[in-house]
Chains A and B, each alone.
Chain A
Amino acid sequence: MASPNTIVIGGNDANDEVSLLDVLDHVLNQGVVIRGNLVISLAGVDLVYIGLDVILTSIETALRHMDTVASCDLPTLHRKR
């Protein structure tokens, strides 16, 4: 007989691949965040406006953010869950 279906316990210390995903998911999605628009400028011309909530939804997108953030105007802090 199959064992009854119950909850699976993950973790918060990234000891295995699944817990690693739990940790990444958590640090990217929970906590106080800079909320506003990121302005990517080139030679004094504002080129792109990106909602930071969108940027922080996935690690791939966050990586792209890392590549551009050095030349960006950083917005001020606001609280958000």
Chain B
Amino acid sequence: MPVLAYCTFEFDPQIRVPEVGVQGEPISLIRESKLACLVSQFTTVKSGSNEPLREAALVFNRVLQAVFQQAAIVPFRFPTLVENEREISRYLQERESELLRDLHRFREMVQMEIEVQSDVPATIGQQQSGQGYLRTRQARAAVLEGAVSDLRSGVKSCILEWRTRPSASRTRCYVLLQRSALHDFCQKAKSVRLPDDIRARMTGPWPVSEFMSET
């Protein structure tokens, strides 16, 4: 049976780990040196509905949040499945120094995410020329970029790092900040005035994943 991996954290006997995880399976803690990783058995979903998988993803998130409230974690993306627990042990052994470095660095930090989206349609109209379409897209991108820049300026006094991932219709912003600065950050972000045709949605706090070391 495949094993579902939840997250890695620095082992501490005081950290309370949820007993039950996805699909009601008991959660096991795999320990390697200073690291711990949570896993549970996972049965393949045969239903024609998305509901079991959606429920599984929500339980997965609850497990992550339960540990994240007590310690820094390196989350796995859902659904990360491996053949057996030995695969996880090997992973922890191979990545120990890098994982510990990240966990120490992000110990008191959280990640917030802001998705900035333009309401201006970018589709080509029947009467619109190719050049007109490109101009519309360019104007749309400029408004989006301006809104992202305003947001960043509005919160810069309380953040540590800011990254953006633009796509055709939206820009995702990832913000690294101290956990203690969270309230201040939310207040400042909420006070930023955005153009009428821009929508911005902020979520978090999440475990830091966007700023982890590259391998």
Contacts and interface: CB of A to CB of B under 8 A. Distances in A.
B182 to A, nearest CB: 12
A67 B83 contact: no
Interface stretch (B11-19, B125-133, B184-192): B184-192
Interface string B124-164: 00000000000000000000000000010000000000000
Interface size class of A (residues with CB under 8 A): 35 or more
A23 B77 contact: no
Contact of A7 (B75, B82, B114): B114
Nearest to A34: B80
Interface residues of B, number: 60
A33 B80 contact: yes
Nearest to B194: A5
Interface of A: 4-14, 19-20, 22-24, 26-34, 56, 59-60, 62-63, 65-67, 69-70, 74, 76-81
Interface of B: 2, 5, 7-8, 44-46, 50, 53-54, 57-58, 60-61, 64-65, 74-83, 87-88, 90-91, 95, 98, 113-114, 151, 186, 189-196, 198-207, 209-210, 212-215
